[in-house]
Amino acid sequence: MTKHISKLLAVAGLAVLALLIVALLPLFAEAEEIVPQSRTEMELSFAPLVKQTSPSVVNVYTQKRVTSRVSPMEQFFSGGVAPRERVQNSLGSGVIVGADGVIVTNNHVVEGAESFRVVLSDRREYPAELVLADERTDLAVLKIDTNGAKLPTLPYADTRASQVGDLVLAIGNPFGIGQTVTSGILSATARTDVGISDYAFFLQTDAAVNPGNSGGALINTKGELVGVNTAIFSRSGGSNGIGFAIPAEMVKRVVNAAINEGSFVRPWLGLAGQAVSYDMAKAQGLDRPIGVMVTEVYDDGPADRAGLRRGDLVTDIDGREVFDEKGLKFLAAIKSPGETTELTLLRGGKQMTKKVKLAPPPGATEADVVLLDGQNVFSGARVVELSPRLAEENGLDPFQKGSGIYVHSVLRRSVARGYFRPGDIIRSVNGVQTKSVKDLKALLKPDTHTWNIELERNGHMIQGTVTL
C-alpha cells in the first residue's frame, strides 16, 4: 500500500512540475533580451560587425573652382586686379552598393563640384564619375572604375521591419579625421517635419553623426544598410544626439534608377492632401488623428483614374500608415512609374481600397527649356511652360491655378536680367495670357518697344510696364 502511495505522489509531483513549467513558458519567451550576467557577456563587442561592414564605407573628396571677390580698396591699391580664382576642397562619406564600383552619397556632398575622388578603407584611391544627382531626395550616385576588381558592398535592409529601439552603427568620416564608427539606436522613424527635403521620411538616430558623416552608412546588427546619414539637428554644428538618415528603400530606388534608367523620375499619385487634425479625426469618427485628407485630385491623373475623390481620407499606402502628404509622397516615390500601389481610405465612414497605377507627372520638363533672344525685354531668359511635371521637378505646387510661363534661369549681362528672376511665372504680356512658349514668342515682335507684364513672384502678383 505504501509503495502505491509513493508512486501516486511521484506522478502527482511530476504533474505539478509540468504545470509549473507550462505556466512559466510565456515568461521565458518574453525574456529574449536580458541584462549581462557575467564578465564575458559584458565584454561582447561590435568589432566583428565593424570588420565586416566598414570596408564598404568610403571617403568622398570633391573639388570646385570658386572666384573670390576683390574689394574696391584692393582694386584701388593693386591697380584693378582681377578677381582671384581658387580651388575649394570638401569631403563627405559614401557607401559601396555595387561590387563593380557603384557608390551612393548625399547630393549636398557633391553639389557644384567639378571633380570627384573616392578613397577606400584600405587607402586605395580612384577618380569618380557622377552618374546622377537628385536634389529633392539629397542623394547622388558615383561610379569608379576598379579594372574588374570586386568591391565589398552593403546589402539593403528592409526598413519596414525597423523599429524604434533597434541598435544601429553610423560609419563615416567626421571632420575628415578618418573612418569612425559610432553606436546608438533608432530613436524615431518616418520623420517628415525635418525641413530638409520635401521627400522626407527620415530615420532618426542618437548615434553620433557629425559634419563629414554625410553620405555614410547607418547599419543594423545584421550588417545591412538601414539608411544613408544625411543631416543633424544642431545649433552648434556638432552632434547633439539627433541625426537623420535617408531610408534604404529610397536609396535603393535612386541607385537602381541611376544605373538602369540614367535618371530618376518620381512617380505621381496626382493628388494633394493635408494632415488630419484632432477635430477632423473626430468628425470622421476616428479616435485619433491619422491619415491624409485629399484636398485636390488632378483631372485624368492616377488618383482620378483610380476613383479617388476630394474628401477621401487616405490612411495607408501599401499597408503602411501615413500621417501627412510628405509621407504619402515618399512611399509612392520608392516605386517606379507604371507600378501599382494600394491606398486604404475612408469615405463616408466606410473603409475601402483603391489600386493606383503610378505615372510620371504630365507636361513639359526642364528638357523643354527655351532660351529667348532678340531685341526685347525677355532676351536672355530661359523659359518653359508651367506643368505638373515641371512643378514637381522644381518643388512647386503642381496644383497651382492658372497657366503661365516659368522662368527657369536668366543669363548674366542680358536684358532680361534687369527684370526677371528664376522662379518667376509670367501670366500675361500686353493683356494676352501666355499659356505656351509659342504664345510668348508671338508677342515678341521687332516693332514692339513697350511691354505690359503680369507675373507671379514668390506667391505675389506683380504688374508693370517696361519700355526699351
Predicted pLDDT at 201:
82
In terms of pLDDT, which residue wins out, 347 or 35?
347
Residues 179-199: pLDDT tens digits?
Answer: 999 999 999 888 877 666 666
| Beta-carbon contacts of residue 397 (< 8 Å; ≥ 6 apart) | 272, 391
Please provide the average confidence, as pLDDT, over all residues in the chain: 85
Element (H, E) at 220: strand 217-220
Given 3-state DSSP classes, what are the helix, strand and coil percentages for the chain, each rounded to the nearest 5? 25, 35, 40
Alpha helices in 266-322 (DSSP H): 278-283, 302-306
| Beta-carbon contacts of residue 37 (< 8 Å; ≥ 6 apart) | none
pLDDT of 369 > 70? The answer is: yes
Element (H, E) at 252: helix 248-260
Residues 267-295: pLDDT tens digits?
Answer: 889 999 999 998 888 888 888 898 999 99
User: By C-alpha distance, which of 403, 456, 460 is closest to 434?
Assistant: 403
Predicted pLDDT at 33:
58
Question: What's the rounded mean pLDDT across residues 132-138?
Answer: 91
Dihedral over Cα of 334, 340, 344, 345: its sign? positive
Question: What's the rounded mean pLDDT across residues 127-145?
Answer: 94
Whole-number Cα distances in Å, 190 to 2, 193, 389, 439:
70, 9, 26, 44
Domains of the chain in sequence order? 54-144 (2.40.10.10), 159-261 (2.40.10.10), 271-358 (2.30.42.10), 366-467 (2.30.42.10)
Catalytic residue among 56, 197, 214, 414: 214
Q: Name the most confidently modeled range: 66-70, 89-93, 118-122.
A: 118-122
Question: What's the rounded mean pLDDT across residues 323-332?
Answer: 89
CA distance 29 to 215: 39
Catalytic residue among 134, 138, 316, 424: 138
pLDDT of 51 > 60? The answer is: yes
Cα distance between the two ends of the chain: 125
**Any catalytic annotation for residue 138?**
yes
The pLDDT-based confidence of 86 (bands split at 50, 70, 90) is: low
**Any catalytic annotation for residue 38?**
no
Predicted pLDDT at 85:
63
| Secondary structure letter of residue 442 according to DSSP | H
Residues 114-134: pLDDT tens digits?
Answer: 999 999 999 999 999 999 999
Predicted pLDDT at 84:
61
| Secondary structure letter of residue 263 according to DSSP | S
pTM (two decimals): 0.78
| Secondary structure letter of residue 290 according to DSSP | -
The residues that bridge with 117 in the sheet, in sequence order, are 61, 127
Please give the grid coordinates belonging to residue 275.
494632415
Please give the grid coordinates belonging to residue 362.
504630365
Extract the annotated binding site: 108, 138, 212-214, 269-273
Dihedral over Cα of 190, 194, 195, 196: its sign? negative
Catalytic residue among 108, 187, 197, 408: 108
The CB-side HSE value for 181 (13 A sphere, CA atoms) comes to 18
Extract the annotated binding site for substrate: 108, 138, 212-214, 269-273
- Type of residue numbered 328: L
Predicted pLDDT at 235:
59
What does R_g of the chain's alpha carbons equal in angstroms? 29
